[in-house]
A and B are shown apart, each in its own frame.
Chain A
Amino acid sequence: MNVLIRSTSLILGLTLAGAAAACGGESAAPGTAAPAATAVTNPVDPATAGTITGSVKLDGKPPAAATINLSSDDYCAQQGPKTTRAFVVDGDGLQNVFVYVKDGLGNLKFPVPTTPVVLDQKGCWYEPRVSGIQVGQPFNIVNSDETLHNIHALPMNNREFNRGQRLKGEKYTTVFTTPEVMVPFKCDVHKWMNAWIGVLPHPFYAVSGAGGSFELKGLPPGTYTVEAWHEKLGTQTQMVTIGAKESKPITFTFKV
């Protein structure tokens, strides 16, 4: 029987030692205070700034939207039927594509806006589903629903966090410290709720809207790598050169 006791203790000890040894290196959730905007002179001369305009097209027929089972939360069910939102198509335009300047800005630094970017939980959806933000810019997560949500950010380069919001009107403010395209969000309570945010060191990003159109304004003349990201279809890049005051149209076409 002593052997039994010793064996059990050994197994317990090994299990816990393994867990403890592997537990290090985790980081705490990010702070809640939003820092003031960094005072950096805007390197863009408005007199010469150009624009990249364009649209994102979808070539092919997107998968049919599937009906979401809302039976796990009566409140969500009362908000009306829901279908999956991975493909939001307007004509042949594809919406919710994050378009941004990936390369070409060199070492230019840009002022950080103090206006927060808001991610709202409304009607048991994230609004907006896709958005962008600058490093250091305040990021507000709001619950507009009369049900509980958890906001679980799953970044690779920034700090992971998971916050609960049980009351309507609750707000959580944080900032991202490192550029990262894209940071996914999910609600573990409501599995269909997903959102993505692109974190950049500059303000040259957009999300395709009606007709798949987008616009990147105020760019200094130069040659840029522009990337388009879609949650299911991946990324595409294009090289674009714009001159002073020039408006250059480009088109991304994703195939399904």
Chain B
Amino acid sequence: MRHFFASLVAASTAVLIFAGGLVTSTESGLSVPDWPTTYGYSMFTFPLSKMVGGIRYEHTHRLIASTVGFLIVMLAIWLWRTEPRAWVRRLGYIALGAVITQGVLGGITVLFFLPDPISIAHASLAQIVFSLTMTIAVVTSPGWMRAYSTHGPAPDDRRLQRIAIVTAAVVYVQIIVGATMRHTGAGLAIPDFPLAFGQLIPPQWDEKIAIHFAHRIGALIASVCVLATTAHVFYHHRGRRELVRPSILLLVLVATQLTLGALTVLSHKDVLINSLHVVTGGCVLATSVVLALRAHRARFAAASIAGSTGAGSTEQDPAYTVGVPSRGHA
């Protein structure tokens, strides 16, 4: 039940990111000039009849954000009351702190007229919140609890663990570069695709062109990382459904994301395409995090076993007695 609820929270966070993407894509971020009120009304009593023009996007984003915030409060309380693993409880607290901070950043960016650093931080922290809720959903899932042991012990493949972590990190950096490009107005700094001003390397440079080109290069690097990780999974762990499934999803998402990125340029930043590009980027990150977590499942078990027998640890988690640590490939 907690897993289902955590999954619901993660899904609602993805919806929130899409709504936030719409706000930026429609340039509606300042259509409601006050915060936390909306034109002097309490956020929850603002009349629907007054939701006109850009207010529809901004105020809807605020309402969804409030709902997600409430859901994360519920999740954190639920984990605090029922979760035996201290580190999972802590994840709940961190998610709660992150979503509160995210709300404050959203307010500050409105009150200070969308300064780029705050808007970029707001966009980047959103993806952290999404990944945190996804992480909680994963570690409360039945599969995680039984250490994905249906087809034998979870593999402890150090190489996979390393490249999965690197992939998630690269994807996150790419998201930050994308957010920087988006909030500094560099989305069309290079107006053609796949070339840049008709050439492989832009013949002219300024700050916006550099940011835009960095995002394209970042897409290439992230794609290579994803290919390396998924290829490793398919070659060494093809029998592990918990690894193969997110790998397939990751490939589909990356292909979709590359297509959306190209279409964003070619459509001159169509609102829907642009916003889908934002949320798909979040899904790529969340999926790479899921894959990294599952790749580390055996190590969680090993740490738990070591912790439960070592001095100073009081955590007893019977779910963590399954993993068989090894350094070889499965």
A13 to chain B, nearest CB (A): 10
A22 and B40: CB pair below 8 A? no
Q: How many residues of A contact B (CB 8 A)?
A: 35
B40 and A1: CB pair below 8 A? no
Docked pose: A211 CA to B135 CA in angstroms: 67
- Chain B residues contacting A148 (CB-CB under 8 Å) are 39, 50, 52, 55
B94 and A19: CB pair below 8 A? no
A residues 120-142 touching B (CB-CB < 8 Å): none
Docked pose: A4 CA to B299 CA in angstroms: 12
Chain A, Cβ-Cβ closest to B114: A162
Question: What does DSSP make chain B's interface, helix, strand, loop or mixed?
Answer: helix
Number of A-B contacts (CB under 8 A): 110
A53 at the interface (CB under 8 A from B): no
A166 and B50: CB pair below 8 A? yes
A158 at the interface (CB under 8 A from B): no
Give per-residue flags for A23-62: 1 if the beta carbon is below 8 A from chain B beta carbons, else 0. Answer: 1001000000000000000000000000000000000000
Give which listed residue, B52, B112, B120, B132, contacts A26 with CB less than 8 A: B112
B30 and A9: CB pair below 8 A? no
A23 and B30: CB pair below 8 A? no
A160 at the interface (CB under 8 A from B): yes
- Chain B residues contacting A26 (CB-CB under 8 Å) are 112-113, 115
B45 to chain A, nearest CB (A): 13
Give per-residue flags for B102-144: 1 if the beta carbon is below 8 A from chain A beta carbons, else 0. Answer: 0001001000110111101110110010001001000000000
B53 at the interface (CB under 8 A from A): yes
- Chain A residues contacting B101 (CB-CB under 8 Å) are 12, 16
- Chain B residues contacting A164 (CB-CB under 8 Å) are 32-34, 39-40
A141 to chain B, nearest CB (A): 12
B53 and A72: CB pair below 8 A? yes
B54 at the interface (CB under 8 A from A): yes
A178 at the interface (CB under 8 A from B): no
Knowing A152-B30, A189-B31 touch, does A15 contact B124 (C-beta < 8 A)? yes
Give which listed residue, A1, A8, A22, A74, contacts B115 with CB less than 8 A: A22
A163 at the interface (CB under 8 A from B): yes
Q: Other than the known A11-B172, A148-B39, what 5 A-B pairs have Cβ atoms closer than 8 Å?
A: A15-B121, A15-B125, A75-B52, A150-B31, A164-B40
> Can you report 5 A-B residue pairs in the complex whose CB atoms are below 8 A from each other?
A11-B172, A23-B115, A76-B52, A188-B29, A189-B31
